[in-house]
């Protein structure tokens, strides 16, 4: 029975009180018997949590009561087992490390493209202005090896802080094209798109909500393989289910 709700969400928003916020969120999450990771920094929040559905949604409501998180909309999936072992709330220098201080998404987002639009562009082979469309995977090489978009650009980076150097080395390959950067949930491709804009690329977008939102809204068209996730489920298919759990159901609960 899939009764564990898994959520992921992030928001770039100034959090000068990150250390005080850490104490409050940790206390509330532990009291609700939730497990996962919440990262806080002066630039925002990034979270991955799991637990019984009512408890997870109560925690989200608690977050949304803070005006800074009022528009936080988590991506959801369900599992039969708790995929995290403990509850961690940490304060970091960045919620996703790029080591490029001029990139500050809280000051203004890069243009985002909804999943349905990306699917349509890939269906037709070009964007609405007739430009060639390329998808740029901003994840680490081992994540990409689980699955990615057909024909996606893969620079084989080993950590996200390698992305700026990779862009410097490969930027000419992107000139004159519409570039859709993507990642698991949106946080890395948001910073990546801003960096590419700063570098002078004209037609750069981020995939709104990342791969997980794309799975939810399109069923995974043009995506091959699975999406790696940083918990014990390891990877999710286009139906947002872990393959190990699907295999268990097929064996013990066949149609």
| Helix 210-218, helix 115-124: angle, nearest 10 | 70
Beta-ladder partners of 88: 37
Q: Residue 221 burial by CB count (10 A; 0-12/13-18/19+): exposed, middle or buried?
A: middle
Choose the catalytic residue: 110, 183, 207, 236.
183
183 is catalytic: yes
Alpha-carbon distance values, 150 to 154, 220, 223 (Å): 11, 11, 6
Contacts of 99 (CB under 8 A, 6+ apart): 161, 164
175 secondary structure, DSSP code: T
Positions marked active-site? 183
């Amino acid at each position: 029975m899939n009764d564990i709700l898994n959520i992921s969400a992030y928001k770039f928003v100034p959090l000068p009180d990150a250390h005080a916020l850490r104490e409050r969120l940790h206390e509330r999450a532990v009291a609700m018997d939730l497990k996962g990771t919440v990262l806080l920094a002066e630039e925002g929040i990034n979270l991955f949590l799991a637990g019984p559905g009512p408890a997870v949604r109560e925690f989200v409501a608690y977050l949304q009561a803070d005006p800074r998180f009022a528009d936080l909309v988590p991506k959801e999936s369900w599992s039969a087992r708790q995929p995290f072992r403990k509850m961690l709330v940490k304060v970091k220098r960045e919620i996703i490390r790029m080591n490029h201080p001029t990139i500050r998404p809280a000051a203004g987002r890069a243009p985002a493209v909804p999943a349905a639009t990306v699917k349509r562009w890939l269906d037709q082979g070009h964007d609405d202005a007739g430009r060639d469309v390329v998808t740029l995977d901003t994840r680490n090489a081992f994540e990409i090896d689980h699955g990615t978009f057909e024909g996606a650009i893969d620079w084989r980076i080993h950590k996200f802080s390698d992305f700026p150097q990779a862009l410097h080395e490969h930027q000419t390959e992107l000139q004159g094209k519409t570039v859709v950067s993507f990642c698991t949930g949106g946080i890395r491709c948001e910073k990546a798109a801003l960096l590419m804009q700063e570098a002078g690329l004209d037609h750069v977008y981020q995939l709104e909500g990342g791969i997980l939102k794309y799975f939810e809204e399109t069923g995974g068209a043009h995506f091959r393989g699975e999406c790696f996730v940083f918990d014990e489920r390891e990877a999710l298919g286009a139906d947002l289910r872990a393959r190990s759990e699907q295999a268990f159901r097929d064996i013990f609960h066949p149609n």
